[in-house]
Structure formats: structure tokens, C-alpha cells
Structure 1
Amino acid sequence: MPVPAPPAVPDDPAHDSPVARRREQRAWYFYDWANSAFYTTIVSVFLGPYLIAVAKTSACATDFPSVAAATCADDFDALVAADPGLGYVDVLGADIRPAAFFGLTLTVAVFLQIVFLPIVGALADHTGRKRELLGGFAYLGALATLGLFFVEGDRYLLGGVLFVLANLAYGASVVVYDSFLPQISTPDERDGVSSRGWAIGYLGGGLLLALNLVLYLQHESLGLSEGMAVRICMMSAGLWWATFTLIPLLRLRNRPVPPHETTALRSVGGSFRQLGRTLRELRRYPLTLLFLVAYLVYNDGIQTVIGNSAAFASEALKLDRTVQISAILMVQFVAFFGALLLGLLARRFGTKRTVLGSLVVWTVIVVSALFVEEGEPVQFYLLALAIAIVLGGTQALSRSLFSQVIPKGREAEYFSLLQISDKGSAFIGALTVTIALQLTNSYRIAIVSMIIFFVLGFVLLALVNLPKAIRAAGNEVPERI
């Protein structure tokens, strides 16, 4: 039997005028524009290689002091091969290879998100102070990103700590940000609003990345060292994030919530109790849980394909760094139009059908990876083009669908579950790729192995009775779903 929805929050988006809703929606879009700079500039392109290089510098100074720094960095792998007992950096007493240091920091960051994001969601719903929480997490992340400018020499630990902090703040801010979606849009508006937000995020992230790549590629003519150029690029992501976050903070507004504890400590305690109730009640929303599992499966395939695309280009196709960078830029800008296109298709054919169709396209993409010829950049660009068309739309429409099957007044808690399913499941895809590489030593087979995630995700999503799930959560069923 469906569980009765919590008492309705008196501030329903349908009660606002269309002009008032559009005003908040436009401001909401700008946080996607603001935070995408962190993911594209920091995570996707610059930080990983730079942080590994800084760790190598530290290992060189400790283990190979007689070798010149520049020579050591270039010949590091050969030096370690000659003496495998050397070439480590110290991380809390553990000896870690420099090449593994960024992966370690990423693992820690993901683990902390899995632990803390549900608490953030519960706190946001419990207190109703979403705008303040959004601003607090956004500026914490932006400041940590700005701090990456000071990572140089042997300061690899500083870089790791700042990245973990920035990534945790990024995830927490996105939980709060996503939870505004049901409060600023009616059920029938939600697909379009979510798609436009995602599209604008790709455009903003792509624009800053393009500017940064110009700086990076022209650093010598500008009188900058490569390291300084990278540090300026990373600092720019923090400035971009901080500057454009002002727009949603000025226009988004908090909604009233039921009475709650007045002190901060009691609010945190109340948030933990509320989170416990949410996790217990999720079993009583089986269709919402089924959708969450379906999203976990197919989104893991998406994230794993994107995360391994550069390695696929270099290892399987033997394409140079210029091709990889230009493909990343193309994906950013084409994904802007792709998200809008899938939003239009959802309006005509229904959201669920559109997402299912996009999963078919993803399946075709990973199978096509088998047939892309080595040293053929045009074929790789075509593959990247296909990815860009369905990338943003699949995720934006999934966010919109999820917002329909969660109870009112608990948006941030449930979106925190969506975020941790996104982050936590990344281990499964990474493990699948690792096993495939171990067994076959082929990046083509590793990418094709993602077909399992898209096919299984398709089947699970097809089994979700969305109108029934929406009604069970106490929400209005949109005209087209």
C-alpha cells in the first residue's frame, strides 16, 4: 500500500505566476553554468596530470637527489624500473606511487561523498535553508579550487587535500541545487527546465575550458611556464564558480518547512533522524527504488565510458593529446544542443521513451568502438559527436524523472541518494573495465563491456511504471511522461 505523502509544503510552484517561476528558473540555470567549470577544467583535464607531476617531483627530491629535477621527471619511470624499491611518496605513512596518487585522492573524495551527501540532503530538507547551504558549499568548493594555485614544487599533499575538499563541497552543493527543481517548476515544465540547466552547464564549462586551453597551448608565447599556466587555469575555475554562483543566490528563495529544532546541533540531530526515516521509507516506495537502481546501472555505464575515453583514444587508437583535447571541447559544446534536443523529443514522445531511446544509442556507441580504426581521428570525432548528442540529455531527463517520483518536502534527501548512487556506482564500472583489461589487455573490449550496463539499465527502466510511481509519491502525473 502506498505511503501517504508528507504534509504538503504550502509553497507550491503552481501557485507562483509563470513570470515568477521563469525568474527563479533562469537563476537556477546559472549554477550549472558556474559549477561545470570545476568538473571540466579541474577534474577532466588539468588536475590529474599536474598532481601526478608534483608527486613525482617530491619523489625525485627524496629518492633520486643526485638526478637533475627536469631529467628525473622525464626519466622517472625508467629510474623506478631500475630500482623498484624507490619512487614513492608518503601519504599518512603509506608509500604510494605518484601515478596512483590522484586515483587515491579521487577514491577518498568519492567515499566521503557517499558518507556525507545524505546528511547534507537531510539537513537541507529539515531546515529549509537551501539557499544558504547552496552558497556555503559553493564558496567552500570555490575557495578550495582557488587554493590549487598554490600547489607547486613538492606540495602534492596540499593538492590532494584541496581537491578532496572541493569535490566534497561540489557534490554537496549539487544535492541542494537539484532539490530546487521540483520547487521552481511544475511537473509539466520539469523536463524542459532540467534539460536547459544541463545544457547551459555544458556551455559554461566548455567556454572556460576553451579559454584555458588557449592559455595553456600559448603559455610559452605569453612568457609563462607550463606549471604556471596550469595553476592559472585551475585558479580560473574557482573564480568562475564563485562569480556566477552569485546569480542563483540573489534570486532563489527558501520554501517554508514544518517546525524543526532551533539550534544548529539539534537541527543536525533532527536531520540524522529524518535521514533514517527516509532510508526506511524508501522500501515502501518500491518503484522509486527500482528507478534509482536503473539509474545507478545505466549512469555507471555513461560515467565509465566518459572517464575512459581519453585512455581509449591514446591506448587503443594511438591518437595524440591535441585530438583528445579538441574532442573534449567538441563534446562540451555539442552536448549543449544535445540536451536541448532530447528535451524537445521528451516533450513530443515522452520522457521515459526518450531516455530508453538514448540508452539504445549508447549501446550502439560502445559496440561501434570495436570498429574505430587506429590512427583515424575522424572516426573518433564521429564517436565523440554521437556521445555528445545523448550525454547531457540522458542525465538531464533522468534528473527530471527522479524529481517526479519522490515525495514533496524531501527533495534534497532523495537527490542525495541519486548523487551517491552516481558516485558510488563508479566503483562497479571501473572494476569492470579493470577486469576486462586484465583478461584481454584491450581497451576496445573494455569499452564494449559497458554494453552490460546499458542493456540492464534499459530493462530495469522499462519495468518502472512511472504513472504509478508518481502517484505513490503523492505527486501529479504530467500530461506526457
Structure 2
Amino acid sequence: MRLDEESPYLATGVSRREAWSWAMFDFANSGYTTVVITAIFNAYFVAVIANNEDWGTLAWTISLAVSYGLIILTAPVVGAYADAYGAKKRLLLLTTIGCVLFTAMLYFAGPGDLWLAAALVILSNFFFGTGENLIAAFLPELARSDTLGKVSGWGWSFGYIGGLVSLGLSLAYVTWAQGQGLPADQFVPVTMLITAGLFAVSSIPTFLYLKERALPQPHRAGISVMHEAFARLKETLDRVRDYRDLTRFLACLVFYQAGIQTVITLAAIYAQQVMGFNTADTMFLVLVVNVTASVGAFVFGNMQDRMGHIRTMALTLLGWMVMVLLAWMAETRGMFWLAANVAGLCLGASQSAARALVGYFSPAPRRAEFFGLWGLAVKLSSILGPLTYGLVSWISRGDHRLAMLISGGYFIIGLAILMSVNIRRGREAALHAEAI
């Protein structure tokens, strides 16, 4: 099978090589979320930088909340600009450079460097999240409308393999460093350099082979680029009633993603503070979970186009509820391992399914803008969920079990809203917009 050949699952004119190069960005950037946000730096931030103070978890969640707040303010405008000027790929390059640079600079954050660490997390995560929105906007250009779930699943499953590689390299170094008797403040910073370097190298195929198919659109005379971007965004918001099913799904997304983002950003902290895991234990757990997440993204991505978007999403949300109960009740490492792997299966499936559904509801001329709204919803949830957990753990003086249980309520709300989304009506609204 040649990479320059087309596939029945891809849009006309899209080769397997180009689809692979798009998926390679998921491979490249997954190391950041896996190592910095999920497995290593978050626990290091609480235990070493914040010296295990009661406010450490809250400080971590506030830092992430600030970065997501910045993305919320800028994502729709960045998307509108990318659509208007056909600039998704150029902007993607800028965000990649920014994330790689500030991730590498986390190397310099050590014990007591709270403000430096917080600032670098805010900046690196801002560039990561903005790039995540931009790469997602390429999906409807690469896949056929009836195979969005399958192609999105390819990307997510490949992405988790990238997280595995980054975490595996970091684990190998950490295991060696601990064998040499080095403390965490000497070996954790090196994992930031490993993560940044892998991100930079692995993203090269994306910028070599992924094509910018969107053409610059007619511009309004006499106004600045920024004003034009805001004007386009205002038009979308003014017509949001025409996309009521997209709006409902975005509301659903805010709530259930609040639960998911809580698990992603606080899993290592929960493992170490509640279950007594050390750094190597946590890294190995997350490494295995990345395998199950990859499997979940691939399997459910293939099922989604046959089973239906809503049924697939509902099934994964039920799985998330089971996971929260297992983690809350876990007294042994075995039960916590089971909860973590249930989370892995649901994580890959729900992330892939959501991206495909947004693409299904998006009219072609406004894809980047609509994925900007998707990013806005995800980032709002990334503030809501982790901050809820952080506040509960702070108020309860470190009761992480209670914080996890309360955060699980967001999955129930998300499922209730999901039941009101009409797939056919949402797709018809997108097709109608393209015909105008």
C-alpha cells in the first residue's frame, strides 16, 4: 500500500501520506498532555514546586484555568482569521514553536519557583490548546462526511502512541536517574526537554505534507484584520440559532469535558496523594492507559460511523461514570488500575467522537471558526472541572476522593444534554449554510 495513493475513507485528492502527516501532529503534541499535564509535571508541581502545601493542587488548577481563559478569549478570533485568510497551517506553525519553546523552559522550574512554573505552564498550554483547535479544523477537508469518525479515530489513536513514546522515553530516563539516587528536582526537568524535542521533531511531517486547502475569502474593505475577525465571529454568533444542535452539543461538551479534563489534569496527583504511587509508578500507569486510550479511539472511531454519533457518545459517558465510582471506591492498587484503564478506553473514544461530530455539524466556509468554538467549549470545561476539583480538595483539606466524586457529576449533566441533540437536523443546517 503506497502512501501517495488515495483511500476510500478520505476526501477526493487526499493521499494516505497527507492523512498520515495530519495524524502525526496528534502523535507529536500528545507528549505534552501526557508528560506535562497528566503524568509528571502536574504531580511535580504540587509535591516539589509547591512543597505539598494544601494550596498546591489549587495553584496547579488556577494556572491551567488562566491558560484556558486566554484560549477562550482568542480561539474564536484565531479561527475566524484562519478562515478569512486561509492561514490554518501558518498559525499552526507559530503555535507549535511557542509550545515547544515554553515546554523546554520548564526545565528551569525547581523547588519554590512557583511563579516561574505557573507562567511557563500558562504559556505552553496556551500555545498547545490553540494549535489543537487548528489541527482539528483540517479534519473535514481530509475525510469524507460519512467517515469523519473513522479518520478522527485514526488521529487520536496515533496520538496516544505519541504520548506512549514520549512517556516511555521519560520513564526510561527517570528509572535510570532514580537508580543513580537523583532527586525529582534533578530528573523531572530533563523530561521537559525530552517532551519538547520529540514534539518538535515529530511535527515536521505535518508541515511538509499537510496541505492548506482553504482559500482566502473576500475581505471587508476599510477595516483591520482583527476587526474583520471579530465581525465574522459576530455573524456566526448572530446565526447560532440556525445551528441549534451544534449549540446543544457544545453545551453538552462543556459539562462532560469538565469531568474528562479533571481526570487528565489531576490523575497523577490523585494517584500519588490518595493511592501512594511514586513518580515511576504513576508514569507506568499512564503509559499503560495510553495503550487503552489508543485502542479506545481506534475501536470506537470505527464503530461511530456505523453505530451513530449519539449512541457512541452516550456509551462513553456511561463508561466515565463507572470509572469515577471505581476511582472513588478504590482501596487497592488493583481497583485503581481498573478505573484508570476504563478511563483510557473512554478517553480515546469520547475525544475522537466529539471532534468528528463537530466536523459533521460544520459548514465548509467556517470550519476553522466552528472548531474555534469547539476549542472554546473544551477550554471552558478545562477551567470548570479542574477548578471544581481544586476548590473542593482545598476546602475539604485534601479530600481528593470527595473532589473526584463531585467532579463526576459533570458526566451526568453532559449525558442529559446529549439526549436533546438531533444528528440529522444538525447536519442539514450545515449543508444549508454551505449552499447559501
TM value normalised by structure 1 = 0.80
Q: How does 1:215-234 map to 2 (within 5 A)?
A: 215-219=173-177, 221=179, 226-234=184-192
Q: How does 1:258-273 map to 2 (within 5 A)?
A: 258-260=217-219, 266-273=224-231
- Which residue does the alignment assign to 2:94? 136
Answer yes or no: is 1:27 the counterpart of 2:21: yes
- Which residue does the alignment assign to 1:453? 410
- Which residue does the alignment assign to 2:425? 468
Answer yes or no: is 1:353 the counterpart of 2:311: yes
Change (3 A) 1:247 1:261: farther
| Structure 2 Cα separation of the partners of residues 317 and 475 of structure 1 | 52
Change (3 A) 1:163 1:366: closer
- Which residue does the alignment assign to 1:398? 354
Query: What is the aligned counterpart of 2:335 among 379, 391, 406?
Result: 379
| Structure 2 Cα separation of the partners of residues 106 and 270 of structure 1 | 29
Change (3 A) 1:195 1:107: same
Counterpart residue type for residue 46 of structure 1: I
CA contact (8 A) 1:27 1:247 kept: yes
| Structure 1 Cα separation of the partners of residues 56 and 388 of structure 2 | 24
Which runs of no fewer than 5 residues in structure 1 stay unpaired? Answer: 1-12, 57-72, 82-96, 477-481
Q: Sequence identity, in percent?
A: 28
| Structure 2 Cα separation of the partners of residues 52 and 362 of structure 1 | 25
CA contact (8 A) 1:32 1:198 kept: yes
| RMSD, aligned CA | 3.0
Change (3 A) 1:364 1:51: closer
Q: How does 1:416-427 map to 2 (within 5 A)?
A: 416-427=372-383
Change (3 A) 1:388 1:98: closer
Counterpart residue type for residue 449 of structure 1: I
- Which residue does the alignment assign to 1:172? 130
Change (3 A) 1:322 1:434: same
In the TM superposition, residue 181 of structure 1 has moved relative to its aligned partner by: 0.6
Answer yes or no: is 1:213 the counterpart of 2:171: yes
CA contact (8 A) 2:27 2:202 kept: yes
CA contact (8 A) 2:40 2:279 kept: no
CA contact (8 A) 1:55 1:101 kept: no
In the TM superposition, residue 142 of structure 1 has moved relative to its aligned partner by: 0.9
Query: What is the aligned counterpart of 2:12 among 13, 16, 22?
Result: 16
Change (3 A) 1:432 1:230: closer
| Structure 2 Cα separation of the partners of residues 436 and 150 of structure 1 | 30
CA contact (8 A) 2:309 2:357 kept: yes
In the TM superposition, residue 446 of structure 1 has moved relative to its aligned partner by: 3.3
**Secondary structure, aligned partner of 2:219:** coil
| Structure 2 Cα separation of the partners of residues 43 and 416 of structure 1 | 21
Change (3 A) 1:403 1:383: same
- Which residue does the alignment assign to 1:38? 32
Change (3 A) 1:316 1:472: same
Q: Deviations over 1:109-138 (max 9, x none)?
A: 122111111221111111111111111111
| Structure 2 Cα separation of the partners of residues 387 and 54 of structure 1 | 27
Stretch moving more, 318-327 or 113-122? 318-327
Q: How does 1:271-350 map to 2 (within 5 A)?
A: 271-350=229-308
In the TM superposition, residue 459 of structure 1 has moved relative to its aligned partner by: 2.2
- Which residue does the alignment assign to 1:192? 150
In the TM superposition, residue 339 of structure 1 has moved relative to its aligned partner by: 0.9
- Which residue does the alignment assign to 2:215? 256
CA contact (8 A) 2:32 2:195 kept: yes
CA contact (8 A) 1:206 1:329 kept: yes
**Secondary structure, aligned partner of 1:463:** coil
CA contact (8 A) 2:99 2:125 kept: yes
| Structure 2 Cα separation of the partners of residues 194 and 181 of structure 1 | 7
Counterpart residue type for residue 243 of structure 1: V
Change (3 A) 1:439 1:136: closer
Counterpart residue type for residue 244 of structure 2: P
In the TM superposition, residue 26 of structure 1 has moved relative to its aligned partner by: 1.0
Q: Deviations over 1:205-260 (max 9, x none)?
A: 12111110121121155686643422221011111111111111111112213223
CA contact (8 A) 1:339 1:392 kept: yes
CA contact (8 A) 2:65 2:387 kept: no
- Which residue does the alignment assign to 1:247? 205
CA contact (8 A) 1:27 1:252 kept: yes
Change (3 A) 1:442 1:189: same
| Structure 1 Cα separation of the partners of residues 121 and 101 of structure 2 | 11
In the TM superposition, residue 432 of structure 1 has moved relative to its aligned partner by: 4.3
| Structure 2 Cα separation of the partners of residues 223 and 317 of structure 1 | 23
In the TM superposition, residue 46 of structure 1 has moved relative to its aligned partner by: 3.1
Stretch moving more, 107-116 or 183-192? 107-116
In the TM superposition, residue 102 of structure 1 has moved relative to its aligned partner by: 3.8
CA contact (8 A) 2:111 2:185 kept: no
Change (3 A) 1:202 1:434: same
**Secondary structure, aligned partner of 1:248:** helix
In the TM superposition, residue 262 of structure 1 has moved relative to its aligned partner by: 9.4
Change (3 A) 1:140 1:412: same
In the TM superposition, residue 431 of structure 1 has moved relative to its aligned partner by: 5.0
Q: Deviations over 1:166-222 (max 9, x none)?
A: 111111111111110111111012111101101111110121111101211211556
Counterpart residue type for residue 230 of structure 1: V
CA contact (8 A) 1:300 1:453 kept: yes
